[in-house]
Structure formats: structure tokens, C-alpha cells
Structure 1
Amino acid sequence: MKKIHWLLSLLLMVSALANAQTDNKLLYGSEKVVWCGLDYSKVKCIGAEGFTDPDNIVDTYFNGWNKLVQSEATRYDVKKLYGFEGKVTDLSVVEKRNEMPKADDLVIDDSYSFEDGTVEEIISTYKLEKADSGLGLVYIFESLNKTEQAAHVYVVFFDIASKKILWSNKYEAKAGGFGFRNYWARTVLEAMEESGDVYSKEKKKFEKENYKLSRA
């Protein structure tokens, strides 16, 4: 009986290692990424004095910031910052999800953070129009905090086919700039630069380790 348990444990371990290698190959070995945009579906705006027109935020700015990233692609350069050779833009999901927030509930003066499992729940609903497999990248915003002059955002890489999250880090990105649009757009760029630096270093490490294995 003990031998059977040992063999089962060994098989489970081997399976887990194989799955991890597959996930890492998709995460760090993909030449192309599907940019899914900025998801504000669960966001809260903290500090009433900084968000005086919540209806306009929902109707204009959520998808407006997505359009800004798309129109100023040389500044918000996903390919360059994360080190991909190709990029497909598919905003079909976030454009719909960004209509979900209710303006009456958007602005608060209290602290706010996602409940456990919120990011996983959001990703589980994603059904893209331009891709049914490959590596997806999305920014899921938790809060725009005028008091802290910063946004809290999850940068998420996921397997489009299985909707499994492969890499998720939360960033506090500082706001800045003239005008409401640019002030909060700055948080996108800061999150992109910071997470891109972290991801690129991890990708280089993965490539170096795989090169050593191939030479062994």
C-alpha cells in the first residue's frame, strides 16, 4: 500500500512539473501576445473630490483610455516593453465589461480592494473575438485613488484557451499630468513600464535556463 501511495505521489509530482513547464513555455516562450486592454469593470474611484462626474467616467473615459493606448502605441509599446515580436489587439471583452460599472456606485471615500478570487472570476468570463488560444495580457483596475494620487492595477498574463492565469502582479501606479484623461492615463504607462521590466527579466532568465538545458 505504501508503495502505491509513493508511486501516486511521484506521478502527481511529474504531472505538476510537466504542467508548469508547459505554462512557462506559453508565458515566456510566446513570440506574440494578445493585448486585451484595460478592464475597469470592478474598479472603484476613491475620493469624491476627484471624481465629480461619474457618469462621464463610465460613458467616456473607461474605453477612452483604451483608445488612447491604441492610438499612442509608440508610447504605450506593449511589444517593446515586454519583449514580444508580435501583438494582436482585441478589446472586444473589455469594451463590453467597461459598461458594467454603475455610476451611482462608482465613487467612494472608503478603502477598497478585491475579494479573493476576483481576478480569476473576471478572467473566466473572457471570450475573445480574435483569438481562442495563445497568450493574453490584460490590466484589471482595482481602484483609482485620488487621495493617494495612484491607481491599483493587476497586470495579468493568461492562457486564452484554458483561461488559466499564468502571471499576475498588483501594482501601485502613480497618476500625473494635465487634465483628467492624462492624469489617470499616466498610471497605465507606469504600470506598463514597471511590469514590463519585471516580466522581461523573468523571460531572459527562463531563456537562459532553457539554453543551458538544451546544451546539456
Structure 2
Amino acid sequence: MKKTAIKLSLLLALSGLFLQPVSAQTKAEIFDEKTPITWLGMDFSQMKFIGSEEAYRKELINAEFVGKYIPLWENFFLKEPKKYNPARAVHRTSVAFAMNVTEKVNAALTKNFFDTNPDHFKSLTEKDIDTIIKNYDFLGNKGIGMMLIVEGMDKGRAQGGAWITFVDMDKKTVLYTVFRTGNSRGFGFRNYWAHPWPVILDDFGSDFERFKKY
């Protein structure tokens, strides 16, 4: 009888171990260089071209932006890893890649990207970013994900603006997000608007220790 009770107790204890919920990721782990991070790419679902459509019309239309330019910019992270380097931004030697997460979002975009109100270059809040992430499909990926949620591309400012966002992909929660800008420059539409993204990432990397405190 005693042996049976002991066996039952052991079984219950072991089952309790297996039933324990997976622990959530934390903000502190973003800044712990031993914690793996997955680069998810750039989300353009919130993006606006600031200025009249006519100001950009010679260079693109909405369909070209989705079908041509977004994939080109994403591809820079694969073709030019020394310059487009999310691992450097988070002080890692490497990060995993799962850019199909944002590729799925971008490929479905059909909206008008043009906005004449310069105040809309940055109009999202951290609460808005929370809502975006709650509705995300992370395609089964786990752990900490990192992405740029691009908000504005302004020809007048010669800047692109994006939210560097870290998420717990399992819980669909934002661990940390901050808006940063990068200057645009270069010849041709593709190169001109490709420039802000590595600038934003490197800027975050330069301020890594400062962001760690907030």
C-alpha cells in the first residue's frame, strides 16, 4: 500500500513538471547577449509616404512598392549582411532569420501608401504596436523576435522612421519598442530608401547600453 502511494506521488510530481507553462520572455533577455534572437524582417503594413502622390509618381505606384521594392529591401539583409546587420544591433555574433513572418504581412498589402499630412510621419504609439503584435502570426516561431515596423518615409525630411520592436513570439506580446529615424540618401529610388534601415539598426546598437536602462 505504501509503495503504491509513493509511486502515485512520484507520478503526480513528474506530471506537474511537464504541465508547467513555458516561461515568458523578458525585456532583460533582449540585452542579455547569451539569449537567442530571431530577425523577423520589416513590416510595412503601417507605412506612409509623406507628401503628395505626384511627388513620388515618377518613381513608383502602390503596386510597385509592394511587389518590387519591399522584397528588394528585405533581400539586402541576405545579400549585404555586413551592412544590414540586425545581430550587430543587439550585440550578438549572429541571429536566426525568419523573415517569412513579415513577408506574409507585406505580400497581402493593398492599401494606398500616400499621405499628405506631415504629422503622420510618426503617429503610432506603443499601445498601437501592442495591438499590431497581438494580431500577428509568428508561423510557429518561439522565443524573442525582432523586427522593424516601418511607419513613415518622408521625402521632405529625407528620412525613414521605424519602430524597433522586440516580441515574445509565443505570447504575442511586446517586450520593448522604440521609434528611431534614419537619413535617406543614394541614387535611385531603391537605394535612397534602403539607406535608413541599417542606420536605424546601427543607431540602436550604438545606444544599446542606454536602452538597457529604460
Classify the secondary structure of the residue corresponding to 2:196: helix
- Which has the higher Rg, Structure 1 or Structure 2? 2
Q: Deviations over 1:142-168 (max 9, x none)?
A: 111111110111001111111221111
Q: 1:62 to 1:43 in 2, by over 3 A?
A: same
Tell me: CA distance 1:194–1:60, structure 2 relative to 1, closer, same or farther (3 Å). same
Distance 1:32 1:202, change over 3 A: same
- Say if 1:153 and 1:115 are closer, same or farther in 2 by CA, change over 3 A: closer
The amino acid that maps onto 2:201 is M
Q: Which residue of 2 aligns with 1:57?
A: 65
1:130 Cα deviation after fit? 6.0
Please tell me the residue identity of whatever aligns with 1:27: I
Which of the numbers 83, 94, 114 marks the counterpart of 1:75?
A: 83
1:169 partner SS: strand
Counterpart in 2 of 1:66?
74
Deviation at 1:115, TM superposition (A): 4.2
| 1:23 partnered with 2:26 | yes
Q: 2 CA distance for matches of 1:78 and 1:93?
A: 16
- Conserved in 2, the CA contact under 8 Å of 1:40 and 1:140? yes
- Contact 2:146-2:166 within 8 A present in 1 as well: yes
Helix, strand or coil at the partner of 1:181: helix
In 2, Cα distance between equivalents of 1:84 and 1:189:
16
Structure number with the higher helix fraction is 1
Matching residue of 1:155: 164
Q: Which amino acid aligns with 2:190?
A: R
2:94 aligned residue: 86
Matching of residues 86-165 of structure 1 within 5 Å: 86-102=94-110, 105-111=112-118, 112=120, 113-116=122-125, 117-129=127-139, 131-132=141-142, 134-165=143-174
TM-score, normalised to structure 1, is: 0.76
Q: Tell me: CA distance 1:67–1:130, structure 2 relative to 1, closer, same or farther (3 Å).
A: farther
Measure, in 2, the Cα distance between the counterparts of 1:172 and 1:128. Answer: 26
Change (3 A) 1:202 1:41: closer
What is the one-letter code of the residue matched to 2:129?
Answer: V
For the aligned residue pairs, the C-alpha RMSD in angstroms reads: 2.3
The letter for the 1-side match of 2:155 is K
| CA distances 1:74-124 after superposition (whole Å, capped 9, x unpaired) | 211222232113311101221121134335x21122121444432112212
Q: Structure 1 residues 196 and 49 mapped into 2: Cα distance closer, same or farther (>3 Å)?
A: farther
Q: For the structure 1 residues 143 and 202, does the alpha-carbon distance in structure 2 shift closer, same or farther, using more than 3 Å as the test? A: closer
SS in 2 for 1:86: coil
Distance 1:61 1:84 in 2: 28
- The share of aligned pairs that are identical, in percent, is 22
When residues 22 and 139 of structure 1 are mapped into structure 2, their CA distance, relative to the original with a 3 A threshold, is closer
Unaligned runs of 5+ in 2: 1-23
State the shift of 1:42 in Å.
1.3
Query: How many residues are paired up?
Result: 183
Q: Distance in 1 between matches of 2:181 and 2:211?
A: 20
1:37 maps to: 41
| Gapped regions of structure 1 (runs ≥ 5) | 1-20, 207-216
